[in-house]
Structure 1
């Protein structure tokens, strides 16, 4: 298994450069083809004007601004791909649905992996709903490029967040190309339960044995949250072992519950310190 079709979902010129650089680093290793996608939102005008008609000049200015951003995103994407002589194509979609538009989702569903920028409420980038839509609707692994790093670095150590769920299982096997290429993989369980079928000390041991048959050198460890959130514990462990990637299942609990009360997925969408591959 390898990533041959790589979709890079690009929002602004700033995140387009970072996400494209990560997609290129992956494509160079796999000989993959990159599809750059930008969803240009139509202009929505809410203005107080005589006779309730918006000023046409204001509408034109907003449309021009959106088109300028699209051109800047395309230029950031094309210039990098042409510089690296990588097989690529560009797709522009316009619609109010953003990342959930039919064109974006259809393109993502035909890919091996989808890359996007991490959610950051302080910048004009993807919204949390955009990333949720990609996770829920595409059916593909989503690689979130962390805001904490300027560019891609070789991924030599991978931290697998393991809780035995369907989602975490899916993420592990979606991430196999990264795991087989890494020098070290740690399967990390936080507050693992003690059950009649498995001791907490051996949580993840069977997964490690399966990965070993793929040539993955995986170790198993566990930790206690000790009053921290699971997201904080994962970030802390990733920093401790100098991991270049976190692999985790997304939304083991319902999307509505995550939206209302928060959760590990939502927290790492916002605050992961390294790139994170999520699957559900």
Structure 2
């Protein structure tokens, strides 16, 4: 198993070069085809008060700004593609719903992996509708911290394991990374006692399954002792110099501000390592 089609979400000029660089590195590592994707949102119709008449001049200005951004992002992607020589393709979309459009979703669902940047709080317009991709594409998403500008090898992987469907999806979706990594740690925080399994054995079954794939895997069980699971994961990321975090994407709200409740949201707000999420 390997990633053969990677979709790079280039939603703003601010992160286009970063995500293109990461996409090129992954495409080279897995001999994959890289698709650069940018969705241009049609400008909403401005109105002139009090008669509420559409203002065509203002609408044209807004659309020209959006088209200029699309051209800039495409140029960055094309320039890098020429230098790297990997298999690439450019796709741009224009619709009123941006990244939530059905045409964009159709492209996302044909990818082995979606690559995107963590939201940068200094850019209020950074809205790639990542929740739509994660919840409706059915594909794993690799989020890159906005502070990480250069790709680096993924040698150490941490799996945040709680036995859920989402965690299982993320773990097996990450197999190409796990098989290439030097070490993989399955981290279980506050494992519950179950009728058929002692809490001390939590994580051993998934570790055994991964070992059959040739993954070099270990299991760590940790008690939070009043702290939060997110704090435990963050501490483990720092202490072990982890290159990739693998975890399930949890939540039900469609709005980004409310989507990633609890552990997932806390991790994404403070992420220090690339994070692979599956839903």
Contact 1:119 1:131 in 2 (8 A): no
Aligned to 1:135: 134
Aligned to 1:163: 162
Are positions 1:91 and 2:91 aligned together? yes
Aligned to 1:11: 11
What's the offset of the Cα at 1:243?
Answer: 0.5
What's the offset of the Cα at 1:26?
Answer: 0.8
Q: Which digits, 9 at most, give the CA deviation of each residue in 1:34-75, with x for residues without a partner?
A: 011101011114454564335433222211111111111111
Looking at structure 2, the residues matched to 250 and 244 of structure 1 have their Cα atoms a distance apart, in angstroms, of 19
TM-score, scaled relative to structure 2: 0.92
What's the offset of the Cα at 1:147?
Answer: 1.6
Looking at structure 1, the residues matched to 22 and 125 of structure 2 have their Cα atoms a distance apart, in angstroms, of 17
Q: Partner of 1:198: helix, strand, or coil?
A: coil
Check 1:184–1:68 CA distance in 2 against 1; reply closer, same or farther (3 A cut).
Answer: same
Aligned to 1:247: 246
Q: Which digits, 9 at most, give the CA deviation of each residue in 1:149-200, with x for residues without a partner?
A: 1121101100000001111011111000000000010000111112222222
Looking at structure 2, the residues matched to 231 and 238 of structure 1 have their Cα atoms a distance apart, in angstroms, of 11
CA RMSD after TM alignment: 2.1
Looking at structure 1, the residues matched to 120 and 174 of structure 2 have their Cα atoms a distance apart, in angstroms, of 24
Check 1:175–1:39 CA distance in 2 against 1; reply closer, same or farther (3 A cut).
Answer: same
Please show how residues 75-224 of structure 1 align to structure 2 within 5 Å.
Answer: 75-124=75-124, 126-127=126-127, 130-224=129-223
Looking at structure 2, the residues matched to 124 and 256 of structure 1 have their Cα atoms a distance apart, in angstroms, of 19
Check 1:126–1:103 CA distance in 2 against 1; reply closer, same or farther (3 A cut).
Answer: farther
Contact 1:163 1:192 in 2 (8 A): yes
Check 1:125–1:162 CA distance in 2 against 1; reply closer, same or farther (3 A cut).
Answer: farther
Q: Which digits, 9 at most, give the CA deviation of each residue in 1:95-116, with x for residues without a partner?
A: 1222211121111111111111
Are positions 1:72 and 2:76 aligned together? no
**Number of residue pairs aligned between Structure 1 and Structure 2:** 278
What's the offset of the Cα at 1:262?
Answer: 2.5
Q: Which runs of 5+ in 2 are unaligned?
A: none
TM-score, scaled relative to structure 1: 0.92
Aligned to 2:21: 21
Q: Which runs of 5+ in 1 are unaligned?
A: none
Looking at structure 2, the residues matched to 260 and 89 of structure 1 have their Cα atoms a distance apart, in angstroms, of 31
Looking at structure 1, the residues matched to 268 and 139 of structure 2 have their Cα atoms a distance apart, in angstroms, of 16
